[in-house]
Structure 1
């Protein structure tokens, strides 16, 4: 029995080592020049023939190639004529790195027991060696907002980059915001108990709102008092009132969105964003007037109501952008972690429904960075910012041409290999040999 246990342990360790994530890239030591590519800056600008110079992890030059000359004798030069350069894509409101295998409870750490958990930090549970996280990079998704789930207040999210040894190395912005799940104004009967499955008014809605108000009143009283005993949940909310943290309210319904915005204003919340926002297009003018941004639900989804337009999820972004609302795309929902790699293709779909390609690009780069509060370093290819970018053979918003040849995070050239690319190569060789 003992020998059997040893054999199984060795086998598992061997499997883990042979299938481990790629080793994080080393710090940049030599200047890099990317020459000739079409540079999609992320702010709406495009340089058809660009010169990008990276030094010490920063962008020191992003210009039209015919505007300046550089001494490339002491640089590593990447000639990218005919290719495209993009800022690294950013996926907000994701549980990447918190769950590895849904069916294995020991790998699931995306929610905590209890309803009021503002002090629960997703960052310290983030697994930087996740194979799912690794599979984001070949599509250009290089950063993410790691967000907890469950309860009325799920906890506190943080922003990470996807090439790190551990969560400390991965952290880009710690504890950026707190996530509140707003009550639904409607409920549905439990059909499995024989109840009518039709929508009906949520009779507990007012009581649930009162519970949220009471909780925030208590947190405000705590922040204004001289406390000898630390209350961790209340302590975590301080940033909402001084502007150092953003309140992310997860809500879809029209009335719920209006109530959530008014609640934030009444409670002195400095920064607030709607997450999901299925009915946000119905109150777009209201959101614009109150300077409220939206992390819009997954584009590749079906309409929620039988009388909605069949293509409503595809064109929501266009409607909101036209109204002047700050919009970014998120991808929560069924199989959200696996589908996060499709973020650029969600943006690509919005192009088919009215946005320009550069507007669509902003939905997953600069707009996201602005909402998350990291636009001083990420989200666009501008001098002085982090050299977090990638080179694609073609249009990165098109799954047919999103073929990435090089990618950089903070100037470090990262591996684009994953367990999936290894399997692809393995079986490509198998079937190629059979054809011969």
Structure 2
């Protein structure tokens, strides 16, 4: 029996990540494609030059006469997009839920700002390569568990190791706001909802931790406290505090918490009922990474289409909104991120505005918009070419993808199986 278990375990991990692409050495010119800039603009007949990992120029092919390039890609009728960004992701932290040795998404303890998800990120994860054929080229690797889960970092999804992958190191700390209610029973036999009697106490514990941490950072004591040390950057507004909350009361209390501690960079993650307090969020300049769009409402008597409409409601209120994918099977579902944006477009958002939910908006929230999120001269050449609309699962078919100018592989175990069985049925 042990022999079979070992064989199964080896087989599960036998599919290694594709070899990362080498640094861009040849200049590349993409001509004739429909360029979706990522800021709401479109260039119908575009020309894009990629040199040394950067977008050297971008514009109308009828106006710009480029210099000679080493490689020319004809993209007539195809669509060009900036690389999509998956925030609040555990991609690369868990390979198989049932195999404990492959699960590194959370640590024991309640207040763990010093836990760095980056060093646990596994670039060899086979799940990482399944995201790239749908245009997801960047991700914010985020820990789970506890009251403060730890620190997230932003990576690109074609690397040898986490040192190669990192784009922005330890950029934010994640606080799981307590719920004002608790659910009784379990999913098969729900027992209703009742008030969380410990809600006030749990908030006091959060406030006490922040008070102690900020006092520690202002002191000159010789004794080092690692969790408090990790809070450095939140007090000086250099790091973002990501507050995970869905309820109206919870979000309002989180806003009050922001005011109390004079926090500048705050983002709500989840935010299902953020639309109810949108004016307060706008006033405090708080952005929202909206929970998974392809989901049911939180309460039985709510509009079943509410998750689809949420993004438009917040955007119309002037909130900076991005899309995240936490939840059941979240790592496998990362590849569906562009189709969440497509659903938002189907439910009221302009298509280019919906595109911003997974490109420029998310880049701004994560603080990487100087180099990523849009197709602009001087920015990273992180983009892809699709034969159809990348937000539509029927037409999205990526032919080329680049990360920092490096043309990456679009193969995965999925594509290998597709080609294998396509050949089988072609024999008949």
The answer on 1:153 being equivalent to 2:148 is yes
Question: What are the residue-to-residue correspondences of 1:251-262 with 2, within 5 Å?
Answer: 251-262=245-256
* Residue aligning to 2:115: 120
Q: Tell me if the contact between 2:292 and 2:340 (Cα under 8 Å) persists in the aligned partners.
A: yes
Deviation digits for residues 283-328 of structure 1 (CA, Å, limit 9, x no counterpart): 1111111111000000000011122111000000000000000000
What is the aligned counterpart of 1:36 among 21, 32, 39?
32
User: Matched residues in 1 for 2:178 and 2:106: separation?
Assistant: 18
Q: In structure 2, do the counterparts of structure 1 residues 14 and 219 end up closer, same or farther at CA, with 3 Å as the change threshold? A: closer
The answer on 1:181 being equivalent to 2:161 is no
Deviation digits for residues 394-415 of structure 1 (CA, Å, limit 9, x no counterpart): 1000001110000000000000
What is the aligned counterpart of 2:395 among 380, 385, 401?
401
What is the aligned counterpart of 2:62 among 45, 62, 66?
66
* Residue aligning to 1:365: 359
What is the aligned counterpart of 1:295 among 289, 297, 304?
289
Give the secondary structure class of the aligned counterpart of 2:47: strand
Question: What are the residue-to-residue correspondences of 1:25-174 with 2, within 5 Å?
Answer: 25-72=21-68, 74-174=69-169
What is the aligned counterpart of 1:416 among 405, 410, 414?
410
In the TM superposition, residue 109 of structure 1 has moved relative to its aligned partner by 0.3
Question: What are the residue-to-residue correspondences of 1:235-314 with 2, within 5 Å?
Answer: 235-314=229-308
Give the secondary structure class of the aligned counterpart of 2:341: helix
* Residue aligning to 1:227: 221
Give the secondary structure class of the aligned counterpart of 1:198: strand
* Residue aligning to 2:344: 350
Give the secondary structure class of the aligned counterpart of 1:67: coil
Give the secondary structure class of the aligned counterpart of 2:243: strand
Give the secondary structure class of the aligned counterpart of 2:191: coil
CA RMSD of superposed structures (Å) = 1.9
Give the secondary structure class of the aligned counterpart of 1:53: strand
Give the secondary structure class of the aligned counterpart of 1:215: helix
Give the secondary structure class of the aligned counterpart of 1:249: strand
In the TM superposition, residue 191 of structure 1 has moved relative to its aligned partner by 5.3
In the TM superposition, residue 190 of structure 1 has moved relative to its aligned partner by 2.8
In the TM superposition, residue 8 of structure 1 has moved relative to its aligned partner by 10
Give the secondary structure class of the aligned counterpart of 2:276: helix
Q: Tell me if the contact between 2:245 and 2:268 (Cα under 8 Å) persists in the aligned partners.
A: yes
* Residue aligning to 1:213: 207
User: Matched residues in 1 for 2:154 and 2:17: separation?
Assistant: 20
In the TM superposition, residue 75 of structure 1 has moved relative to its aligned partner by 2.2
Deviation digits for residues 70-109 of structure 1 (CA, Å, limit 9, x no counterpart): 133x420000000000000000001000000111111000
User: Matched residues in 1 for 2:422 and 2:172: separation?
Assistant: 44
Structure 1 length as normaliser, TM-score? 0.95
User: Matched residues in 2 for 1:315 and 1:193: separation?
Assistant: 28
User: Matched residues in 2 for 1:178 and 1:13: separation?
Assistant: 35
In the TM superposition, residue 16 of structure 1 has moved relative to its aligned partner by 5.5
Q: Tell me if the contact between 2:185 and 2:192 (Cα under 8 Å) persists in the aligned partners.
A: no
In the TM superposition, residue 13 of structure 1 has moved relative to its aligned partner by 7.0
Consecutive unaligned residues of structure 2, counting only runs of 5 or more, are none
Deviation digits for residues 30-84 of structure 1 (CA, Å, limit 9, x no counterpart): 1100000000000000000000000000001010111110133x42000000000
Give the secondary structure class of the aligned counterpart of 1:197: strand
User: Matched residues in 1 for 2:207 and 2:67: separation?
Assistant: 61
Higher helix share: 1
Question: What are the residue-to-residue correspondences of 1:329-340 with 2, within 5 Å?
Answer: 329-340=323-334
Consecutive unaligned residues of structure 1, counting only runs of 5 or more, are none
User: Matched residues in 1 for 2:332 and 2:290: separation?
Assistant: 18
The answer on 1:23 being equivalent to 2:15 is no
